[in-house]
Amino acid sequence: MKLRTSTLVRLCALPLLLTACNQEAEPVELSSTEYESLLAEVVDDGLPGVILWIDAPGDADDYTGAAGLADRGGQVPMTLDTRFRIASNSKSFVGLAAAQQHAAGTLDLDAMASDYIEPTITEEIENADTATIRQLLSHSAGTYDYLGSNAFWNAVDDDPTHVWSAEEALAFAFGKKASFAAGTSWEYSNTNFLLAGLAIDSATNAHHSQAIREGILEPLEMNATYYEHHETASGALAHGYQEFGADDFEDTFAYDSGYGLADGGMITTAGDLAIYIGALGRQDTRLGDAAVAELFANPERPKDGELYGLGISRFSDSYGELVGHGGNVPGYNSDMFYHPGTDTVIVIMANGSDGQMDQIYEALVERTLKLALGE
């Protein structure tokens, strides 16, 4: 296996994509052939497989489609039922679960993380003993990102099938300098969510996957979704493919770069993810009014026009306001969007990453937004 330091579980670069779209958003009528042509084109360009799920107010503007292969080796076609590792899209599940526990009085978002997490961890990671749970979930804690450690990726390469615990992964942030004092700035760090996951575990006396299932998956009837390594797998999971150059790809299906951790542990389908981001954007009462309100109660501002809440982003651009996030882990790309102005849900998934595949994927995201929300 090759070292994958170039791929981190990412924050969706939504403002970057949308800034390039200078036209005003206007409703458009589409035929499914436009989406079908787009899917065929990006597969021809090099993405192994791709899924689009568009849920718009008018049935005529809805579209669901898949193209390419979920498994190149077995020549298994991509379908709407194919499961995906959604990487950092998982963060809002953890943030919402924490907000639900806060509303229930089980977890205090404004308490210190050290109130819930063992000192053997918080005393070894700078700012972990001074940050609140809310600051962890909104990336304002300043902690060092363990995925920035070459030593972590070397360890993954040495044993690619090892199933990581949060404690093992967090050890790669031990002794690393924080970027700023907790609560004084903003910087994306996956360490924050591993710590937040441990805090939920402590507060609920159970792994946080249980809080996610009881508070989110069951109420929304997301029956195709599960937390990797902590719940029973269901359905066929897409193989991911990472590009290292022309005709140089690796199948990352069994390459465990921290699968099943709180910064990116969820596996789902495009349809279930559409249910979720739609419910989140529409403030579905099944998720709890108080909990949903907490998501943006005290947002951080990573850049102009963007607000970052508890694992979820809200921003305005040429399409108006959008709520969403993105995820990238070796071999997998995904994005989820909710557009309040038109009550439109958009989910995009592809089982390819890095090199030209990232460029093809980002172009797919931009072109899908243009098609769905306006030229």
pLDDT at 14 over 80: no
Q: Would you say residue 33 lies in a domain?
A: yes
Residues 96, 365, 38, 264: is their CA dihedral positive or negative? negative
Query: How far lies 299's CA from each of 113, 178, 283, 361, in Å?
Result: 18, 21, 17, 28
**Average pLDDT of the segment spanning 6-26:** 36
On whether the CB atoms of residues 352 and 333 are closer than 8 A, the answer is: yes
pLDDT at 11 over 80: no
H runs (alpha helix) in 46-171:
91-104, 119-122, 133-137, 150-158, 166-170
Query: How far lies 352's CA from each of 13, 24, 183, 274, in Å?
Result: 17, 31, 36, 20
Q: What's the structural domain count of the chain?
A: 1
| Full DSSP string of 188-203 | --HHHHHHHHHHHHHH
Instruction: State phi, psi for 263 to the nearest 5 degrees.
Output: -85, -5
**Average pLDDT of the segment spanning 198-206:** 98
Place of tokens 């404690």: 167
More confident residue, 320 or 212: 212
- In tens, the pLDDT along 105-152 reads 999 999 999 999 999 999 999 999 999 999 999 999 999 999 999 999
Q: Would you say residue 5 lies in a domain?
A: no
Residue 27 pLDDT class (50, 70, 90 cuts): very low
* C-alpha–C-alpha distance, residues 312 and 326, integer Å: 9
Residue 309 token pair? 């809440």
Residues 6+ apart with CB under 8 A from 364: 38, 42, 47, 50, 348, 350
**Average pLDDT of the segment spanning 279-286:** 97
pTM: 0.92
Q: Residues 42, 44, 50, 55: what is their CA dihedral angle, to the nearest 10 degrees?
A: 50
Q: Would you say residue 9 lies in a domain?
A: no
**Exposed e or buried b for every residue in 47-57, given b needs 16+ CB within 10 A?**
bbbbbbbbbbe
Which pLDDT score is estimated for 305? Answer: 83
| Other CB atoms within 10 Å distance of the CB of residue 41 | 16
**Average pLDDT of the segment spanning 326-332:** 97
Q: Would you say residue 340 lies in a domain?
A: yes
Which pLDDT score is estimated for 8? Answer: 40
* C-alpha–C-alpha distance, residues 302 and 139, integer Å: 9
Q: Would you say residue 158 lies in a domain?
A: no
Residues 6+ apart with CB under 8 A from 328: 7, 8, 9, 10, 87, 88, 334, 353, 358
Instruction: State phi, psi for 55 to the nearest 5 degrees.
Output: -120, 100
On whether the CB atoms of residues 19 and 306 are closer than 8 A, the answer is: no
Burial class (CB in 10 A: 0-12, 13-18, 19+), 303: exposed
CA gyration radius for the chain? 19
Residue 10 pLDDT class (50, 70, 90 cuts): very low
pLDDT at 257 over 60: yes
| Other CB atoms within 10 Å distance of the CB of residue 22 | 8
Mean pLDDT of the chain: 91
**Exposed e or buried b for every residue in 62-101, given b needs 16+ CB within 10 A?**
ebbbbbbbbbeeeeeebeeebbbbbbbbbbbbbbbbbbbb
Owning domain of residue 365: 14-106+209-373
Q: What is the CATH number of the domain that holds 318?
A: 3.40.710.10
| Amino acid at position 201, single letter | D
